Amino acid sequence: MATVVAAENDLTGARAVDRALALLSMVGRHAERGVSLSGIVAESGLNKPTARRLLLALIRAGLVEQDEETRRYYLGEEAYVLGSLSSRRFGLLQMAQDGLTRISRRTEDSSFLSVRRDTFSLCLYREEGTWPVRTHALQAGFEHPLGIGAGSLAMLAALPDAEVDSVIAANSGLIAANYPGITLDGLRRDVELTRANGYSLNPGLILSNSWGIGVAIRTPDGAVAGALSIAAVDSRMRPERQPELAALLREEVTRIETRIAEMMASRARTRGDGEPKRQARRTSK
C-alpha cells in the first residue's frame, strides 16, 4: 500500500513539474511585453489559484519575476543565466552573429536571427544597419505566429506540408484577429512561393512600408534550426535587389549549416555514435 501511495505522489509531483515548466515556456513566449495572470490562465487552461501557485514556485527559483507596477510576469534572472550557459552548447546565436554583422555591413540594412518556438517565431537577435531610414517592425524578443514575417515565413515553408497545415490551423484565430493584411489562403500561397524561390518575401504585410526577405537554416537531417532575414523600407527592397539580398542570406546560412553539421558530428564522435540515426525530413513539394 505504501508503495502505491508513493507512486501516486511521484506522479502528482511530476505533473506539477510539467505544468510549471509549461508556464515557464509560456512566460518566455511573452518575453518582450510580459504576460498577465489572466492571460496565463486563459492560455494554459489552469484555474487561477493553481497558476498562481506554480508561478510563485518559479519566482522562488528565480526563473520568473513579476513587475511590481504592471503585475505582469517576465523571465527571471536565473532563466537568463541558464540561457547563457546553454548557448555555449547550443550556440546558434553565436554561430550567426558574425554573419549578421557581415550582412548588415554589406547591405546597410538591419538583419535578424529568428528561431521556431512551437507554432511561433521568436526573434533572437537584431543587427542594426547604417542606412538612416530603418524599419523597426521586428526587435529581439518579438514573437509572431509562424509564417508572419520574412524569417518566420522561411521557417514555415521549410516544414513538411502536414506540419504547415497544423501550424496554420493552430494560429488561424490569432492571425485573423491581429494581422488583417494576411489571409490563411494567402499564407499558403506564400509558402509555395517561398519554396519555389528559395527565399521568403514579406511585402509589407505587417507594416506597409516595412519589407523583409528570409532564408531558413537547417540541420543536417533537414529539421528547421532557424532563419536569417533582412528588413528594410520598401524603397530598398525593389524586385531587382531581392535576388542579391537572398544570395547574401544563403551565403551566411550555408556557413551556419556547415558549423552545425561539424558540431553535430563532433558530438556523435564523443558519444561513440551509438545512437540510432534520425530519418531525414524533406520538405514536400
pLDDT in tens, 239-267: 999 999 999 999 999 999 999 998 888 77
* pLDDT of 102: 96
Tell me, yes or no, if the pTM score tops 0.75: no
Q: Residue 32 contacts by C-beta under 8 Å, 6 or more apart in sequence?
A: 139, 141, 142, 143
- In this prediction, residues 182-205 reach a mean pLDDT of 94
Lowest mean pLDDT among 34-43, 63-72, 91-100, 126-135: 126-135
For the cut 90, the answer to whether the pLDDT of residue 175 exceeds it is yes
Scan for cell 528588413, then name that residue.
231
Mean of pLDDT over the chain: 85
Nearest to 82 by CA among 28, 118, 9, 120: 28
Nearest to 148 by CA among 140, 157, 136: 157
Nearest to 228 by CA among 70, 112, 65, 124: 112
C-alpha cell at 236: 530598398
Q: How does pLDDT run across 101-129, given as a tens digit for each residue?
A: 999 999 999 999 999 888 999 888 889 87
Distance CA 228, CA 216 (A): 6
Residue type, 44: S
For the cut 90, the answer to whether the pLDDT of residue 1 exceeds it is no
Return the percentage of the chain with pLDDT > 90, whole number.
Answer: 55
Q: Which CATH topology does 90-268 take?
A: Beta-Lactamase (3.30.450)
The reply to whether 90-268 shares the fold of 12-78 is: no
* pLDDT of 253: 97
Which CATH number applies to 12-78: 2.40.110.10, 1.20.1530.20, 2.60.40.10, 1.10.10.10? Answer: 1.10.10.10
Q: How does pLDDT run across 58-72, given as a tens digit for each residue?
A: 999 999 999 999 999
* pLDDT of 4: 38
For the cut 90, the answer to whether the pLDDT of residue 190 exceeds it is yes
For the beta sheet containing 143-145, the strands, ordered from the edge strand earlier in sequence to the opposite edge, are 143-145, 120-127, 110-117, 224-233, 210-218, 200-203
- In this prediction, residues 199-222 reach a mean pLDDT of 89
For the cut 70, the answer to whether the pLDDT of residue 50 exceeds it is yes
Distance CA 217, CA 253 (A): 6
* pLDDT of 138: 75
> What are the structural domain ranges in the chain?
12-78, 90-268
* pLDDT of 86: 63
Burial (CB count <10 Å: 0-12, 13-18, 19+), residue 235 = exposed
